[in-house]
Amino acid sequence: MRHFIIDCDTAEDDIMSLFMLIKNGISVEAVTIVEGNISYEQEINNALWALEFVGKDIKVYPGSDRPLVKSFRSVEEVHGKGGIGDVLVKPSRLKPESKKAVDAIVELADRFAGELEFLAISPLTNLALAYLKDKSIVDKIKKVWVMGGTVYGRGNITPVAEYNIWVDPDAAKIVFNAGFDITMVPWDVIVNYPINDELWEKIKQMKTKMAEFYIQIYTHYREYSMKNEKIGGTPHPDLITTAIAIDRSVIKRSERQTVDIENCDCLTRGMTVIDYLNLWKRPPNAEVVYEINFEKFLSMLFDLLSWF
């Protein structure tokens, strides 16, 4: 049994990532919520509402609602006001925990020392705070999976910065330099693997409850991405990262490299700087993913969509 914490700024791709973990038999020990895509309260509501949809009582811990140092902005234009389009959903039964995410992370790292995996499909504030509270989590957390950054300097919130890292580059700098075993899935890699028109139509024809749910929550994001980001379909940054975390064979090509984070108040704030020629002579701190086994990802997506 694998044990995961999934850290979310809960929009559509976070929700399907949570579902994919559950569907694949992962023991999800906690959903932790961090600032990001939409209003903090709605991110919590979305996580609880999504858990009600699949009938799972997994604990949801509110965490940090802001970056460590600077300010940030949410991106309702990308995901809609509700993160799943403009509709604002509410859970009918489930409630968030009163314990904070930072404490839950430290406690779960103790309880599942050497086994716990942390799936960060979100800004890295919660993990950085947990590390600052108890540095021993570096040795207790077996693996950190990060959706974030770019390898070719093609961003989505500034010309060179990817959103998750840009929101809290100070936290990202702490996490990448802490010594965690990190696999990083960059934005400008996943844009090459969208759900195109043909696949989108195929999903529409499935008529399962999950496929209908998928179409409903992704329509806003899909339209935004195709129109504004020149992507040939729906991008799946979080879900591809999750698929990789579940099954490494979703990675087609990766390299162990040194990654550092630009956190200056400057044009390149939030950029992931990758020492691709090992000029710094520092030991690699991350496995950077460069190519995806898209067929394998699709088989996992369609398996999820045919769940019920």
Residue 14 or 117 having the CB closest to Ca ion:
14
Using rule CB under 5 A, residue 156 touches Ca ion: no
Q: Which stretch binds Ca ion (CB under 5 A): 40-48, 82-90, 119-127, 180-188?
A: 119-127
Token reading at 115: 């086994």
Token reading at 295: 């067929």
Residue 9 or 29 having the CB closest to Ca ion:
9
Q: How far is the CB of 135 from Ca ion (least distance, A)?
A: 26
Q: How far is the CB of 185 from Ca ion (least distance, A)?
A: 12
Length of the chain: 308
Strands 116-120 vs 3-8: parallel, antiparallel or unpaired? parallel
Q: How far is the CB of 265 from Ca ion (least distance, A)?
A: 25
> Quick check: helix, strand or coil at residue 261?
strand
Q: Which of 122, 125, 225, 257 is the binder for Ca ion (CB under 5 A)?
A: 122
Contact pattern for Ca ion over residues 270 through 299, marking x by CB under 5 A:
------------------------------
Select from 59, 119, 84 the least CA-distant residue to 243: 119
Q: How far is the CB of 7 from Ca ion (least distance, A)?
A: 9
Residue 257 or 272 having the CB closest to Ca ion:
272
Q: Which of 5, 68, 121, 182 is the binder for Ca ion (CB under 5 A)?
A: 121
Residue 180 or 221 having the CB closest to Ca ion:
221
Contact pattern for Ca ion over residues 10 through 49, marking x by CB under 5 A:
----x-----------------------------------
Q: How far is the CB of 242 from Ca ion (least distance, A)?
A: 10
Q: Which of residues 183-242 bind Ca ion (CB under 5 A)?
A: 238
C-alpha distance from residue 86 to each of 39, 59, 100, 192, 220 (Å): 12, 26, 28, 27, 8
- Is there a contact between 193 and 294 (Cβ–Cβ < 8 Å)? yes
Token reading at 207: 């008529």
Q: How far is the CB of 13 from Ca ion (least distance, A)?
A: 6
Centre a 10 Å sphere on the Cβ of residue 85 and count the other Cβ atoms it contains. Answer: 19
Q: Which stretch binds Ca ion (CB under 5 A): 8-16, 130-138, 192-200, 241-249?
A: 8-16
Q: Which stretch binds Ca ion (CB under 5 A): 3-11, 194-202, 214-222, 262-270?
A: 3-11
Select from 98, 50, 68, 72 the least CA-distant residue to 217: 50
Q: Which residue bears the tokens 């504030």?
A: 125
- Is there a contact between 166 and 270 (Cβ–Cβ < 8 Å)? yes
Select from 161, 140, 136 the least CA-distant residue to 151: 161
Select from 166, 155, 221 the least CA-distant residue to 188: 155
| Interface with Ca ion (CB under 5 A) | 9, 14, 121-122, 238
